Copies of this chain bind each other. A is one copy, B any other.
């Protein structure tokens, strides 16, 4: 027998998640399961065969998005970069993973983010900023916490505004990094 193919099934599931990410990013919570199914080019019942209910789908989506983000973050090897370059890498990583990640900002209003991810995401970033405060490559007058908050706010704003679509991911990333590090005033 051998149920058709387990790999195919995984790929279909991935395709559904990609579609879900898009439609959720567009329409937010108002997107229905039917919308997701249609966007994925799959029957509604088939969608339910892969994800037995809406919660499971959301959960799988957040997990996929956070995993991708964490992967990109470790691949960025922040330890072996200067602080400014590290920030540039983080920016590229986040904007590159935007596809799936963007949907979560609207829906999963920090509801049930698994705490292990929170650490895996937040710690490297916090470490980077602390290092910057210590070695003088970042301002100290605003406080490391505030600085980090402003940086993530800028990331979230750019994503939610779709700026990386107008400009392309790479130009958007370099513009964002440049503004955050050097400001809008000419040096």
Beyond A28-B106, A139-B186, whether A157 also contacts B147 by CB under 8 A is no
- Complex Cα–Cα for A136 and B184 (A): 11
B105 A160 Cβ-Cβ under 8 A: yes
Question: Separation in Å of the A136 CB from the closest CB of chain B?
Answer: 7
- Complex Cα–Cα for A163 and B142 (A): 13
Contact among B138, B154, B185, B187 for A157, CB-based, below 8 A: B154
Question: Mostly helix, strand, loop or mixed at chain A's interface?
Answer: helix
Instruction: Tell me whether A149 is interfacial, beta carbon within 8 Å.
Output: yes
Instruction: Tell me whether A99 is interfacial, beta carbon within 8 Å.
Output: no
Residues of A within 8 A of B (CB-CB), count: 45
Q: How many copies of the chain does the oligomer comprise?
A: 2
- Complex Cα–Cα for A27 and B157 (A): 19
Instruction: Tell me whether A180 is interfacial, beta carbon within 8 Å.
Output: yes
B157 A109 Cβ-Cβ under 8 A: no
Binding site for B on A (CB under 8 A): 27-30, 84, 87, 105-106, 109, 132, 136-140, 142, 146-147, 149-158, 160-161, 163, 166-167, 175-176, 178-187
22 A-B pairs within 8 Å (CB atoms) are namely A27-B109, A28-B28, A28-B29, A28-B109, A84-B185, A105-B160, A138-B185, A139-B186, A146-B175, A147-B179, A149-B161, A150-B175, A151-B184, A152-B157, A152-B161, A153-B158, A153-B161, A154-B154, A156-B157, A157-B158, A180-B184, A182-B183
